[in-house]
Chain A
């Protein structure tokens, strides 16, 4: 029983990360109608931002979280302005291609600077904590991650669903021309979307860094999981993305725990293919976009 509990707790950790990354991906997607394939590398850079803060600059880990978010917000703004903005009126494929170029630049840039081997981010947060006398242990870093995600995810969801900012993003996704008519300036919102999306990815990367080490390739896998979540949850559906993310995290942890971790990715990739065949508008939510 404690074994299952342990798996579920681990699943919650990865589920929380998936959701944070997927929400950022979705925010950018709503303004550009294009997925930024390099979003996972922003997550990876967030991990290195935390690493630099803690190891190179000797700052406390907790401080490295906002720093990572901030640094990545700047990176997001820069890539939107330099690379994506000139392509607004060009075919969608062009934006996908530059995002693929960014993957290479970020991933191998990180490998050049910090080397291929995984880096550890020590937090000095102390030993694992037993959960309410259940015999189950969770590291403090994991507890922090779950706590931050539990607070942040509803805030982001509310931001997207209730505020004028969120409604403007939704409007751009629904009808670009209509959005322009009411005075919504798409380039401004694309910048804001990149800032927000990259900051979320950076924060997620920094949160996971002490738990699973940082390496140049650590973003590759998580972004694919984020795609899986968005598709299974129904693109454009925030609630769908959140439930899909948590469920995928839990399912992977349980499957991985009992069957072996090599089958975990088979499950995720198989799931997205099945979802697209069976119900392309999303298994858990309803896509607001044409499929």
Chain B
């Protein structure tokens, strides 16, 4: 891949970024203005799910490692926030920051001993690690409340600016703004990281570890940075979730949740900046709509079908296929050939 194609691709990326951004803003505006509290709730759910899908997107989409501990990491972050608030008496905002740190440390700890293993073994170990978190949260009743759950988590406290209350996340509207801002911040941060050297080491490791190593990249370090970044994002999502729901239960973070978030990342488009948002929005709205129709199971079935259909017929995901289609509309531009390693 030479410099010219790289520049060319970046231009495509920018062009392609405009479409989903415009769509997102339009959808956000609609949910904000047209639907009242229900719209805000949807935004909060989509944003938190999109954060989790982003977490998968970093570790799997960009660095090519299938870590199934993500929901467990989210749970660690969520319980860190919840416990610091409920048992530690900390203010919610510092507790939210702690969730990010806990997520990073936790993800690093689960992955460190097995980073050298091949994909399948890595997937299974991280799956086991994620399950261990859920089991521990259920067992340590004195600390976490066990299966009964952890209650009484305070919502994020109001943000004041010059004597005026700027945001009070107790209200769904303001929480929707907080989660949206968090998602935006994380999305921009990840897009930036992907363009930096560290992002290049992720891509190189994903494409061909041996080749990457021969080019001076340390695959081990590349994977670890991706896992730490994705862990921080999952921790943040967990912290936001804890303060939003004000109630936590271990089963909210089992591996089935990981699978749901993974589906969102894949449906949206792995390795794409706006992939997680697209996937999370589609699957969250779909499942909320079906839940309204009292078809809870159908939501999961459809998300499974969507995952399979995307992998079979549109492996680049919604955003990826869009990115391929858009340059095609311009005369003379050929779609980028993606070579995906086995």
Contacts and interface: CB of A to CB of B under 8 A. Distances in A.
Contacts of B125: 272-273, 276
Contact of B266 (A83, A87, A97, A102): A97
Contacts of B120: 34-35, 92
A148 interface: no
Given A100-B259, A104-B259, A273-B129, A93 B297 contact: no
A277 B111 CA distance: 11
A227 B305 CA distance: 25
Interface in B271-315: 297-301, 303-308, 311-312, 315
B312 A273 contact: no
A290 interface: yes
Interface in B258-278: 259, 262-263, 266
Given A224-B128, A273-B113, A96 B304 contact: no
Nearest to A96: B66
Interface string A243-267: 0000000000000000000110110
B262 A100 contact: yes
B263 A291 contact: no
Contact of B312 (A34, A87, A91, A102): A87
Interface stretch (B132-140, B212-220, B240-248): B132-140
A93, A269, A276, A280 pick with most chain B CB within 10 angstroms:
A93
B52 to A, nearest CB: 15
Contacts, number: 126
A269 B307 contact: no
A103, A231, A268, A269 pick with most chain B CB within 10 angstroms:
A269
Interface residues of B, number: 45
B342 interface: yes
B66 A93 contact: yes
Contacts of B60: 93
B300 A107 contact: yes
Contacts of A94: 311, 315
B104 to A, nearest CB: 20
A124 interface: no
Interface string A122-149: 0000000000000000000000000000
Given A92-B120, A228-B128, A277-B114, 14 more contacts: A86-B312, A90-B315, A90-B340, A90-B342, A91-B342, A101-B303, A102-B304, A103-B259, A104-B307, A109-B301, A220-B255, A273-B132, A276-B113, A290-B118
Interface of B: 60, 64, 66, 113-114, 117-121, 123-125, 127-129, 131-132, 135-136, 138-139, 255-256, 259, 262-263, 266, 297-301, 303-308, 311-312, 315, 340-342
Interface of A: 34-35, 83, 86-87, 90-94, 96-98, 100-105, 107-109, 111-112, 220, 224, 227-228, 231, 262-263, 265-266, 268-270, 272-273, 276-277, 280, 290-291
